[in-house]
Amino acid sequence: MREVWAAVTTTQARPATGVVLVAAALAAALVVVGGVWPVTRRLVTIAHEGAHGVAALVSGRRLSGIRLHSDSSGLTVSRGPRTGPGMVLTLAAGYPGPALIGLGAAWLLSRGYAVAVLWVLLLAMALLLLQIRNFYGLWLLVATGVPLFLVSWYATGQTQSTVAYVITWFLLLAAVRPPWELQSERRRGGARGSDADQLAGLTRVPGVVWVGLFLAVNAACLALGASWLLAA
């Protein structure tokens, strides 16, 4: 634990701008390449459902469990009032969740804490693991967490830093795509049980406005996070 704490609290040299840009290009490929996105989108689902869970706990609701499904969907179940600010916060947290996590990671990287990014993500996944209620969700977290642990523990500092940048860029870039996909599905008459439509039922604010808000928050996080990552 002393070794981990020392690594987490020690700053690392920031990589060259070229490495940061290559990391961004690789992360973008994980988002835009058609055959890759259905797989990598599952990582966004982990962050999405984790954000629901955190919001539920912060708002005073009781978290009953989280399920991650093979079609890249997920479900977070919490107990408490079916209406009110707590329920609104819980529902609203999902889509901005990956972007906000990416923004936090970008802030750490801008200060040289690349290893801290990896270990914070590992800790978050370990806590999320306690709430998983289906086998696929368990498998997905283990399949994601084990490689992350191996990089955090055994890789060189340069490799750790590069991986941290790729993950951060991915979270920031990938967060923008799901709201677009959601609205596209809504236009075709689907996704009527989505977070945006449930929020519309609770607040009387149209679902399309909620989708626009998700997109605006995620785009703002991308812009701010990118400025931190690319700063000299």
Q: In terms of C-beta distances under 8 Å and separation of at least 24 residues, what long-range contacts does 61-64 make, across chains too? A: 61/86, 61/87, 61/90, 63/131
154-194: pLDDT as tens digits: 999 999 999 999 999 999 999 999 999 999 999 888 878 89
In the chain the beta strands, taken as DSSP E runs, fall at 62-68, 74-79
In angstroms, rounded to a whole number, what is the distance separating the alpha carbons of residues 82 and 135? 28
Q: List Cα–Cα distances, 30 to 80, 84, 171, in angstroms.
A: 37, 37, 10
23-55: pLDDT as tens digits: 999 999 999 998 999 999 999 999 999 999 999
**Other Cβ atoms within 10 Å of 143 Cβ, number:** 10
Q: Which residues pair with 46 in a beta bridge?
A: none
Q: Which residues pair with 67 in a beta bridge?
A: 75
**pLDDT of res. 232:** 57
In angstroms, rounded to a whole number, what is the distance separating the alpha carbons of residues 210 and 91? 11
Is the pLDDT score of 21 beyond 70?
A: yes
**Other Cβ atoms within 10 Å of 88 Cβ, number:** 17
